[in-house]
Structure 1
Amino acid sequence: MESLFNAWKTSRMAYLKFFEHYSLEELNLIPAGFGNNLIWNIGHIIATQHKLIYIGSDVKGHIPEEVFLKYQSGTKPTVPVSQQEADLLKSLLVEQIEPTILDFNNNIFLHYNSRTTGTGFHVASIYDAFEWNNFHEGLHMGYMMSIRKFI
């Protein structure tokens, strides 16, 4: 699990760099031909991690419900994100890590509700959920790297 957690931490640090390199206006920009923007992708990986790890295990997570509802699968940006919300997403990128690892190490994920993702990956255990989460975050990093070419 240590390597999965290290990969996840590395991923989150890469996402943080978008806040350093792009203005709020740029984070909110939806380029022609795209259905979302940089900031939505960041919110989405936060919401998806919550869904995969916590909701999948029927355990209360560490993000506000409104963040989950706004950025879960099937959503898209409808209004620009405020600076306050951007700051919240930036903090959640980092603040999700240690409590989640601690929860795993404290064995709070006693069972897992298996499911198949929209892309066909079968998530049958908490271990699968962490693996799929890392893959999912990599996919969205790729989307963001494409979006940034048009900003």
Structure 2
Amino acid sequence: MDASFKIWETNRQLYLKLINNYSLEQLNKIPEGFSNNLVWNLGHIIVAQQGLVYRLSGLPINVSDEMNEKYRNGSKPTGTTTQAELDELKMLLFSLLEQTKEDFAAGKFVTYNEYTTGTGFHLANIKDAIEFNNYHEGLHFGFMMNIRKFI
């Protein structure tokens, strides 16, 4: 799993670098023709990882119910993200990665509730979930690269 965790860490560094290049106003802007913004994508990858890895393993997620609801699959931005919320998301980018690595090394992921994603990927175990998470984060990074052209 070392390669998967390295890819994941690199993804998260790219997210942080991208986010740090824009003002809070720009991060909150939903360009015409889009249904979300840069900061929503950031929150979404954090919440999605918790669902894919923790919830489907039968473990509690490490984000608040409010955050989970705000950025879950199928949600859309409903207001303006504050600087405090952005700071929390930036911190969670890496703290949750480290938590997951520690929990994986400690053998906490014992069971997994098999799941087929909306795009047809079948996740049978925690390794599948972590690898799919990397794919998912790559997709959203691509969405962000497109959004940034219009803000």
1:37 maps to 37
Q: Structure 1 vs Structure 2: percent identity of aligned residues?
A: 52
Note if 1:22 corresponds to 2:22.
Answer: yes
Shift of 1:65: 2.2
* Structure 1 residues 96-135: aligned runs within 5 Å: 96-135=96-135
- Displacement of 1:112 in angstroms is 0.2
- In the other structure, the counterpart of 1:65 is 65
> What per-residue deviation string (whole Å, max 9, x for no partner) do you get for residues 44-87 of structure 1?
00000000000010112322222111101010001010111111
User: For residue 7 of structure 1, what is the aligned residue in structure 2?
Assistant: 7
- Per-residue CA deviation, residues 84-133 of structure 1 (Å, 9 max, x unaligned), is 11111111111111110000011101000001001000011000000100
Residue 19 of structure 1: how far off its partner (Å): 2.8
Q: Which amino acid in the other structure matches residue 70 of structure 2?
A: K
Tell me, in whole angstroms, the C-alpha distance in 2 between the residues paired with 1:101 and 1:61.
14
Unaligned stretches of 5+ residues in structure 2:
none
Structure 1 residue ranges (4+ consecutive) displaced by more than 6 angstroms after TM superposition:
none
Q: Distance between the aligned counterparts of 1:138 and 1:19, measured in 2?
A: 15
Partner of 2:146: 146
Q: State the Cα distance separating 1:18 from its structure 2 match.
A: 2.4
Distance 1:127 1:81 in 2: 32
1:20 shift after superposition: 1.6
Partner-residue secondary structure (3-state), 2:127? helix
Aligned counterparts of 2:17 and 2:26: Cα–Cα separation in 1: 13
Structure 1, 58-67 or 132-141: larger mean CA deviation = 58-67
How many residues align? The count is 151
Q: TM-score, normalised by structure 1?
A: 0.98
Distance 1:131 1:31 in 2: 30
TM-score (norm 2): 0.98
Distance 1:94 1:106 in 2: 18
Residue 55 of structure 1 corresponds to 55
Aligned CA-pair RMSD: 0.7
Aligned-pair CA distance for 1:38? 0.2
Instruction: State how far apart, in whole Å, the 2-side matches of 1:28 and 1:14 are.
Output: 19
